[in-house]
């Protein structure tokens, strides 16, 4: 068996309303070994459809989306985990307020990263998730 067969890539979905940031973050993640960005969505309905169809290993969720919200995505993932394949979830957002963080963790988020200061921390988290 090859190592690729025993260690498949980590499938990641980016849920981010900024097309530029989605592209930039996707490129950074795509440069990581054993990480495959399999899709992206800019709004809640698109995100839910994508998550259900692709069933990724990890969803990176922004809270502010073009339609709906990242919190809506997190609520759906929390209330119907089998529908989406139970992906790990992290938040990558500018909305770094204690009450928002607490709500996200109540909804099953593993980590919360501030867009302004923690991009490298997010990349380190994803890199570690491949092991």
Give pTM, 2 decimals: 0.94
Euclidean distance between CA atoms 49 and 1, whole angstroms: 34
Note the pLDDT of residue 7. Answer: 82
CATH code 3.50.50.60 for 14-126: no
Other CB atoms within 10 Å distance of the CB of residue 82: 6
Tokens of 95: 């909305």
User: Phi-psi category of 7—alpha, beta or left, where left has phi over 0 and alpha has psi -120 to 50?
Assistant: beta
Domain boundaries, the chain: 14-126
Note the pLDDT of residue 2. Answer: 45
Average pLDDT on 9-25 reads 97
Note the pLDDT of residue 1. Answer: 42
Other CB atoms within 10 Å distance of the CB of residue 72: 18
Report the DSSP beta bridge partners of residue 15.
41, 61
| Contact predicate 56/41, CB 8 Å | no
Q: How confident is the model over 64-84, as pLDDT tens digits?
A: 999 999 999 999 999 999 999
């Amino acid at each position: 068996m090859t190592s690729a067969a025993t260690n498949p890539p980590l499938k990641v979905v980016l849920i981010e309303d900024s097309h530029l940031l989605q592209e930039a973050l996707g490129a950074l993640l795509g440069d990581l070994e054993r990480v495959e960005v399999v899709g992206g969505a800019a709004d809640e309905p698109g995100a839910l459809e994508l998550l259900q169809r692709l069933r990724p290993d990890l969803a990176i969720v922004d809270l502010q989306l073009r339609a709906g919200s990242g919190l809506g995505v997190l609520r759906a993932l929390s209330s119907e985990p089998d529908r989406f394949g139970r992906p790990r979830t992290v938040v990558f957002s500018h909305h770094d307020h204690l009450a928002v963080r607490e709500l996200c963790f109540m909804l099953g988020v593993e980590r919360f990263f501030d867009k302004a200061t923690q991009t490298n921390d997010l990349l380190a988290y994803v890199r570690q998730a491949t092991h």
